[in-house]
Amino acid sequence: MKKEKLRGKDLVAIGYKDTAVRSLAMLLVGKGYKYSSKEEKLQLLQQVIKKPKNYTQHSTLGPVAIKLMDEQAKEETYAFSDKPFKIYGADGIEEGAKDQMKQAMSLPITADGALMPDAHYGYGLPIGGVLATKEAIIPYGVGVDIGCRMCLSIFDAKGSYIEQNKSQLKKIIQDNSRFGKSIFDDNDRDDAIFDRPEFREIGLLRSLIDKAYSQIGSSGGGNHFVEFGWVEIKDINNDLNLAVGNYLALLTHSGSRGFGAKIANTYTNIAIKKRNLPKSTAHLSWLYMNEQEGQEYWIAMNLAGDYAAACHHHIHRRVQKALGIKKLHQIENHHNFAWKEQLADGADVFVHRKGATPAHKGAWGIIPGSMTAPAFIVRGLGNTQSINSAAHGAGRAFSRRKAKESFTKKMLREVLKTNDVELIGAGLDEAPFAYKDIHSVMNAQQELVDVVAPFYPKIVRMDSGK
């Protein structure tokens, strides 16, 4: 006697509302359970829809369980609520950035947050936003340029070396840095990072390894830079254990290039589909850490952060080799990243610092100003109200579009001449006037960091935009 055929309406009756999920379930159960009765098939599918999490690894119905979890996540309702957060330098922060932070604080996964004095409007989390979340991570809370970071090398040469060897130093920067779409022609790209198993274990990372290889040691566009300047040591009792005086130094700012951007956008789109939040908060969509995609993003993000560090190390290695001068210190720090940490109350969280510097007690960091303003070598004070964080720079006062409309090349030439800075590349969108006053930003975070020494840029290279 022929077994009764399973029909779509049978699956609707037990809760399979989505047409695509129904079709997949009927196909797979038909192939995998040819000799089971209709009742047995329906009982099995009923168990899957009740507890899909238990069946994600099922040899036959795993794909159905995964799709069911995605559908159920879309139907999930979230409780949004206002939560307080600390703002540093509030008078210098635009309302749009504060409103974005309020939105982020209202998420059901949010445990704590803070806004740094360099904050300005961004996508999802504002630039300068610090957000601690429970059991979940927000790809756009980290940002597109994953692991964007600062790196400073201090050399065994006086600051006066710059004025005495300006032409040579300009050539060294031009020969040993690349920006935007430009990459190095040579094959001096070997790095242990390309042996990492993550590149083989996750499909997206496998597809990006060639891009990562071609771009290693280069910098992006926008506000990324490679610059020579000097570090000024004023106090004989300093944390760097250097004698009082000025020292030649190289400062770089860049991130994980197209490699990190692809990771960020891919997992942001996955998070948006899974959470189905209102349009106004869509870019704050999160991935739970017990989801496969959440684990994948965490692994990919950490790899991208290490890749960003490797890019800086290649630049500094190339430059030091060309200089032929001993390196005394190297200081570096991430921003645009997420860390597993504990809050003051002991709660385990994921701390997103989108354009914010880690400032745990004693932690080294570099906070830059602009192409004519000093950067500052700092050590964190471990302030729990800021979630152990500080500003990552001066912060923009003008958007890129507004800067291009507001300033002229003549204005830029004059301010460079006044500050005795040589500029290679860069457009008006990166003019010093486009940034907040770094001294005001530093004054607003005296509770967050101690200043060890300033760095004054003198030869600056940025992307020409061409």
For the chain, the structural domain boundaries read 8-75, 142-462
Q: Closest Cα to residue 207, out of 257, 263, 287?
A: 263
Q: Whole-model pTM?
A: 0.85
What pLDDT is recorded for position 181? 83
End-to-end Cα, the chain, rounded Å: 75
Using pLDDT thresholds of 50, 70 and 90, give the confidence band for residue 75.
Answer: low
Look at residue 394 and tell me whether its pLDDT is greater than 50: yes
From residue 235, give the alpha-carbon distance in Å to each of 49, 240, 276, 400: 68, 10, 55, 38
CA separation for the pair 254, 256 (Å, rounded): 7
What pLDDT is recorded for position 259? 96
| Residues 434, 398 contacting (CB under 8 angstroms) | yes
Using pLDDT thresholds of 50, 70 and 90, give the confidence band for residue 53.
Answer: confident
Using pLDDT thresholds of 50, 70 and 90, give the confidence band for residue 456.
Answer: very high
The highest-confidence range among 55-69, 71-85, 409-423, by mean pLDDT, is: 409-423
What pLDDT is recorded for position 2? 53
Look at residue 71 and tell me whether its pLDDT is greater than 50: yes
DSSP string across 180-206: TT---SS-TT--GGGG-THHHHSHHHH
What pLDDT is recorded for position 184? 85
Classify 142-462 by CATH class. alpha beta
Q: What is the pLDDT of residues 187-215, one digit of tens each?
A: 777 899 999 999 999 999 999 999 999 99
Using pLDDT thresholds of 50, 70 and 90, give the confidence band for residue 245.
Answer: very high
Look at residue 284 and tell me whether its pLDDT is greater than 60: yes
Using pLDDT thresholds of 50, 70 and 90, give the confidence band for residue 465.
Answer: low
Average pLDDT, the chain: 93
What pLDDT is recorded for position 74? 64
Look at residue 448 and tell me whether its pLDDT is greater than 80: yes
Q: Closest Cα to residue 365, out of 451, 240, 445, 302?
A: 451
Alpha carbon of residue 461 to chain centroid: 22
What pLDDT is recorded for position 1? 42
Q: What is the pLDDT of residues 335-391, one digit of tens each?
A: 999 999 999 999 999 999 999 999 999 999 999 999 999 999 999 999 999 999 999
What pLDDT is recorded for position 47? 93
CA separation for the pair 378, 363 (Å, rounded): 8
